[in-house]
Copies of this chain bind each other. A is one copy, B any other.
Amino acid sequence: MTPEEFRRQGHAVIDWIADYWESLDELPVLSRVAPGEVRRALPAAAPEHPEPFDSLLADVDAIVVPGLTHWQHPRFFAYFPANSSPAAILGDLLSSGIGAQGMIWATGPAVTEVEQVVVDWLARAMGLPEQFLHAAPGRGGGVIHDTASTATFTALVAAISAATGGRSPEQGLGSHRWTVYGSTQAHSSLVKAAMMAGLGSDCVRGIQVDPRTQAMDVRALERQLADDVDDGFQPLFVQAAVGTTSTGAVDDVEEIAMAVDGLAWLHVDAAWAGVAAVCPEHRDRLMRGVHLARSFVTNPHKWLLTTFDCSVLWVRDSALLTGALSITPEYLRNAATESGEVVDYRDWHPQLGRRFRALKLWAVLRTYGLEGLRAHIRDGVALAAYVEELVASDDRFELVTDRSLSLVVFRLRAGDDATLAAMEALNASGVAYLSHTRVEGRAAMRLAVGSWRTTRADVDRTWAALQEAAEGVLGG
């Protein structure tokens, strides 16, 4: 592809995206393809001769788009949003064009330093305590990971290293009987992290939650910690969830920190909800006690308009990360690293290679500005509050938990089967896409607002379709 062709095709792809976005309203949110359908539409081997890029675009239209569940659709309300804003997309496009590898400072100083600056910006914007900042005295700082799963795993590995006085990176886990804690509603990545770190899922204690709030029962945590210590276990890692995946429940980090009392590494998983702290009205609830945690993760790639992947992990003491993950082969030795004046981010995460992901977060923070980001979060919260009203106004439905920010969890009073059947009918209609969960054993629907495209009209249309689906299920 010549430079001129790149310009022409590049403009065509930009236009394709703009056209795709404009077409979303007409597309079924949830893909209707059957297993194997996309695979069967494609040849078994790569072409021998070059094909024009246009033929790829044609296949994207003909084969890929029908096989997509449209996460950028204004009526995608399942899971959590994975917002891909224009600014972030263009920031990430710049990163592709620049094609830099920021594994160490020396291989791309700006890759590292822009990242240090923008994670500090985001930390300040959310009111994250000062000790998590690069700019503050001490060894705190943030780093962009791909996902909160990786961030949590990394924090766990650092916790193991810290608990062994730095011996585990060389000597392994040894014979410690470690235990890991999260509520029963903690994200599944906590268990996966324990599996990958060699601890095994059996060591993860799922602490019961308050049936109403779905937040961790801190008294139960205290009891479990005490019992485990009595039984010869060594508490290693406690994860507080600020916004659970199921219902958006917010654990009381401060209370949890008191219960843990320095006995274990306290990690805050605020993957979805954390970014809402850019609004002062949510900050108290989301940040209370965070100064007592050792690590904190939130994902701008969920609600904060930053194209996947962009999950930011902050730690108060980066030496605990680098102590767990650092190794320096000859070909990475360099004067800047040895001077100690720079950050080499490859020691802050599992991977060596790293993309210039800070560009997209920088683009979001600048082109929206903090007031734009607050407005975006507030729109999502306001629309969810409107959903809450709609649920309350229809006797057939009931809220399952209190709305948490932009997440509403509700069900049909008629029971689990009716709830799931109505949701599936709505999803099958193509009008909107919700996902389900179970709360205290009972099925519920989740409606998570968060796309910058979603309007009140989208909520109205979704609600009307859901009412129709409920009617079909319940009998007219």
Contacts and interface: CB of A to CB of B under 8 A. Distances in A.
A467 interface: no
A83 B191 CA distance: 36
B94 A17 contact: yes
Contacts of A368: 50
Q: Report the interface size class on chain A.
A: 35 or more
Interface stretch (A121-129, A216-224, A394-402): A121-129
Contact of A108 (B68, B114, B146, B329): B68
A13 B90 contact: yes
A98 interface: yes
B371 A196 contact: no
Given A7-B14, A47-B369, A106 B69 contact: yes
Question: Which of A3, A110, A191 lies at the interface centre, i.e. has the most chain B CB atoms within 10 A of its CB?
Answer: A110
Interface in A141-198: 146-147, 149-150, 153, 157, 160, 168-173, 175, 187-189, 191-192, 194-198
Given A6-B17, A35-B109, A172-B202, 20 more contacts: A1-B86, A5-B86, A17-B94, A42-B113, A46-B118, A47-B366, A50-B372, A67-B110, A68-B109, A78-B107, A82-B101, A82-B353, A84-B96, A89-B93, A96-B307, A146-B351, A170-B202, A173-B173, A192-B352, A201-B327
A55 interface: yes
A66 B111 CA distance: 11
Contact of A371 (B17, B50, B150, B189): B50
A436 to B, nearest CB: 7
Contact of A97 (B89, B195, B309): B89
Interface in A1-47: 1, 3, 5-7, 9-11, 13-18, 20-22, 31, 33, 35-39, 42, 44-47
Nearest to A7: B18
A350 B350 contact: yes
A92 B438 CA distance: 36
Chain A at the B interface: SS class: helix
B101 A71 contact: yes
A281 interface: no
A95 to B, nearest CB: 9
11 contacts: A46-B369, A47-B365, A48-B369, A71-B101, A71-B107, A82-B101, A92-B92, A170-B195, A172-B173, A196-B350, A330-B436
Given A6-B86, A200-B172, A327-B192, A35 B353 contact: no
A82 B370 CA distance: 34
A319 interface: no
Given A341-B35, A350-B150, A50 B365 contact: no
Contacts of A377: none
A110 B71 CA distance: 13
